[in-house]
């Protein structure tokens, strides 16, 4: 398989800043950085700017620890550190809408360290079932549009919005197609490569990314998979930033193969399209925000009718995974809250799961390898029994 497109995606995923800087130089357009998870980047795109989702960097955190305590998730510490080191210079503004308290704290720090940069917050309601939810979410998205217009000193037409929505929907559809192929035949693409596909989509101009995706899909369609001896596992967690590639590689090295995931830099990012049959693009975007949680539950959202544990049980079954590997970033409170529900659900259904705590700092590689190997040994044993 010609890895040209995937290599390009990997390169960009490894250094989003380089891409953004080159983009600005090339096009003369602006770049708006955003915090995860739910901010509709279509609005930024429709305004003519490049939306870039902030990523955890591989740099060790140094000056950032003078602005925030160490007992914060790696993503928040890394973005603060990047800001402190001037790495967010490519961004003409920062936008965020999610309400995880650590993201709020991070953005507050970023704004103080960059008083010259507009840092906008549009509070996306966490509670999905209140009688005012739909109305409030629509209002918020409307404010977001006006805020972005002001930030970029431009006007966003409905038509421009629809064009962006169509483009982003196409991007999501193609990535979901890759996921479908992988579910059936996990040997056709490595987990880290698939991560690069999504990570690069979070950074690149969507039209450019769509072109690369077409090439990838063409080649995947031709590829036949391996013999399928490896133990199938589902990977869950990391709702704001990518797990370190070394972890995913290790999972696949000890004899397992990742058949599906609900990672942010994975299926979460592409699970939900914006309906194109509404008259009002703002209403359509608002609707997709609510639907997205039902498609892949996010523990910071309050919805009594949506259960992340139930979703995982179904997803594990649908992907014919034999076990669940949970990657939980240390200090991720939303995940820590929900974990016992998942643990109990999986114990009840007698599906093995393994909890691995991740962090920004260097992994204790051997310790992680031992746990993963033991997990695979356990799953193999069950298979034989």
Partner 1 sequence: MLAELAPPPTTSNRLKTTAMNNRMVTAYWDDLFAAKDNGKLVCWYEGVAINPLLQAMDISWCHGEAWSALLAAKKEEQPALLASEERGYGRELCSYARTHLGTGILRERGQIPGSPDHEHIAGRAPAPDLIISAYPYCSTGQQWDEMLFRLFGKRVPVFNITLPYIWGNGSSHAYMQGEEFEDAVKFLTRQLRECVTFIEGVTGRKFDWDRLSEIMSYTKKAGELRLEAMRMCKARPAPATFFEWSISIAPVNFLSAGPEIVEYFEKLNAEIAGRVASGTGSVPREKYRLFWDGIMNWGKLGWMAEKFSGYDACMVAGRYTHMGFWQEPQVIDVDDPLEGMARNYLTCPINHSAPYMIDRITELCEFYEIDGLVMHGARTCRAFSNPQFLIAQEVSKRLGVKIAMIEGDMIDPSFYKDELVNSRVEAMLEAIDARRGLI
Partner 2 sequence: MTLYAMGVDFGSMTAKAVIVDAERDVVAAEVVDKGVLIEEGAEIAMAQALASAGLRQDDIAATISTGYGRRKLDVAQRTITEITCHARGAHHLFPEARMVIDIGGQDSKVIVVDEAGHVQQFAMNDRCAAGTGQFMQVLARALDVELDEVGPLSLEGDDAIVISAMCTTFAETEVISLRAQGHSKPDILAAVMESITKRTMGLIARVGKRSPIAMTGGVARNIGVVRALERRLGEPLLIAQTPQIAGALGAALFALDDARRGIRLPPLEPSFRGEADRLVEPGGKGGCSRISTPV
Contacts to partner 2 by CB under 8 A:
190, 192, 229-230, 245-246, 249-250, 252-255, 352, 357, 364-367, 370-371, 373-374, 376-378, 380-381, 383-385
The answer for 190, left when phi > 0, alpha when psi is -120 to 50, beta otherwise, is beta
Taking the complex as a whole, how short is the minimal distance between the CB of residue 212 and partner 1, in angstroms? 35
Taking the complex as a whole, how short is the minimal distance between the CB of residue 229 and partner 2, in angstroms? 5
Taking the complex as a whole, how short is the minimal distance between the CB of residue 267 and partner 2, in angstroms? 21
Give the torsion through C-alpha atoms of 16, 333, 363, 107, to 10 deg.
30
The footprint of partner 1 on this chain (CB under 8 A) covers a number of residues equal to 45
- SS3 string, the chain, reads CCCHHHHHHHHHHHCHHHHHHHHHHHHCCCEEEECCCCCCHHHHHHCCCEEEECCCCCCCCCHHHHCCCCCCCHHHHHHHHHHHCCHHHHCCEEEECCCCHHHHHHHHHHHHHCCCCCEEECCCCCECCCCCHHHHHHHHHHHHHHHHHHHHCCCCCHHHHHHHHHHHHHHHHHHHHHHHHHHHCHHHCCHHHHHHHHHHHCCCCHHHHHHHHHHHHHHHHHCCCCCCCCEEEEEEECCCCCCCHHHHHHHHHCCEEEEEECCHHHHHHHCCCCCCCCCCHHHHHHHHHHHHHHHCCCCCCECCCCCHHHHHHHHHHHCCCCEEEEEEECCCHHHHHHHHHHHHHHHHCCCCEEEEEECCCCCCHHHHHHHHHHHHHHHHHHHHC
Binds 285: which of partner 1, partner 2, none (CB < 5-8 Å by kind): none
Taking the complex as a whole, how short is the minimal distance between the CB of residue 68 and partner 1, in angstroms? 6
Binds 190: which of partner 2, partner 1, none (CB < 5-8 Å by kind): partner 2
323 DSSP β-pair partners: 233
Taking the complex as a whole, how short is the minimal distance between the CB of residue 352 and partner 2, in angstroms? 8
* Cβ proximity to partner 1, 41 vs 326, nearer residue: 326
* Cβ proximity to partner 2, 130 vs 349, nearer residue: 349
Taking the complex as a whole, how short is the minimal distance between the CB of residue 204 and partner 1, in angstroms? 28
* Cβ proximity to partner 2, 25 vs 385, nearer residue: 385
From 284, 277, 237, select the one nearest 40 (Cα to Cα): 284
* Cβ proximity to partner 2, 145 vs 238, nearer residue: 238
* Cβ proximity to partner 1, 187 vs 341, nearer residue: 341
Taking the complex as a whole, how short is the minimal distance between the CB of residue 283 and partner 1, in angstroms? 19
Residue 264 as a binder of partner 1 (CB under 8 A): the answer is no
Taking the complex as a whole, how short is the minimal distance between the CB of residue 379 and partner 1, in angstroms? 21
Site string for partner 1, 48-77 (x = CB under 8 A): ------------------xxxx-xx-----
* Cβ proximity to partner 1, 133 vs 201, nearer residue: 133
Site for partner 1 in 314-343 (CB under 8 A): 328, 330-331, 333-334, 336-341, 343
* Cβ proximity to partner 1, 309 vs 322, nearer residue: 309
Residue 123 as a binder of partner 1 (CB under 8 A): the answer is yes
Binds 384: which of partner 2, partner 1, none (CB < 5-8 Å by kind): partner 2
Taking the complex as a whole, how short is the minimal distance between the CB of residue 68 and partner 2, in angstroms? 21
CB atoms within 10 A of CB 28: 7
7, 59, 60, 130: which one binds partner 1 (CB under 8 A)? 130
* Cβ proximity to partner 2, 177 vs 330, nearer residue: 330
**C-alpha angle 233/12/15, rounded to 5°?**
100
* Cβ proximity to partner 2, 221 vs 365, nearer residue: 365
Cβ-based neighbours of 13, under 8 Å, separated by 6 or more: 195, 196, 199, 200, 203
Residues shown for the chain: 385
Kindly list the residues in this chain that would bind partner 1 in the complex (CB under 8 A). Answer: 66-69, 71-72, 99-102, 104-105, 108-109, 111-112, 120-121, 123, 125-127, 129-132, 136, 147, 299-300, 302, 304, 328, 330-331, 333-334, 336-341, 343-344
């Amino acid at each position: 398989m010609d890895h040209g497109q995937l290599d390009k995606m990997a390169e960009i995923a490894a250094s989003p800043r380089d891409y953004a800087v080159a983009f600005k130089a090339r096009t003369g357009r602006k770049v708006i950085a955003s915090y995860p998870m739910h901010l509709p980047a279509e609005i930024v795109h429709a305004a003519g700017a490049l939306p870039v989702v902030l990523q955890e960097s591989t740099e060790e955190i140094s000056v950032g620890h003078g602005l925030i305590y160490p007992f914060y998730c790696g993503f928040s510490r890394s973005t603060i550190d990047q800001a402190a080191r001037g790495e967010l210079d490519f961004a003409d503004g920062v936008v965020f809408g999610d309400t995880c308290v650590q993201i709020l704290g991070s953005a507050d720090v970023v704004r103080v360290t960059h008083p010259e940069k507009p840092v906008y917050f549009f509070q996306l309601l966490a509670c999905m079932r209140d009688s005012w939810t739909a109305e409030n979410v629509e209002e918020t998205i409307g404010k977001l549009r006006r805020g972005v217009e002001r930030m970029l000193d431009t006007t966003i037409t409905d038509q421009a919005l629809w064009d962006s929505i169509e483009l982003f929907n196409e991007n999501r559809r193609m990535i979901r197609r890759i996921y479908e192929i992988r579910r059936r035949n996990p040997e056709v693409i490595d987990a880290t490569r698939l991560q690069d596909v999504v990570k690069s989509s979070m950074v690149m101009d969507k039209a450019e990314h769509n072109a690369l995706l077409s090439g990838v899909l063409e080649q995947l369609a031709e590829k036949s998979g391996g013999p399928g001896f490896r133990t199938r596992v589902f990977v869950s967690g990391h709702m704001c930033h990518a797990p370190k590639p070394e972890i995913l590689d290790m999972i696949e090295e000890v004899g397992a193969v990742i058949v599906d995931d609900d990672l942010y830099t994975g299926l979460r990012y592409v699970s939900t399209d914006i309906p194109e049959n509404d008259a009002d693009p703002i209403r359509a975007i608002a609707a997709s925000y609510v639907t997205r949680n039902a498609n892949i539950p996010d523990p910071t959202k309050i919805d009594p009718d949506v259960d992340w544990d139930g979703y995982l049980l179904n997803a594990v079954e649908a992907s014919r995974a034999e076990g669940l590997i949970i990657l939980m970033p240390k200090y991720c409170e939303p995940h820590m809250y929900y974990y016992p529900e998942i643990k109990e659900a999986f114990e009840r259904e007698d599906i093995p799961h393994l909890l691995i705590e991740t962090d920004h700092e260097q992994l204790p590689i051997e310790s992680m390898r031992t746990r993963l190997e033991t997990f695979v040994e356990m799953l193999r044993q069950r298979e034989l029994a």
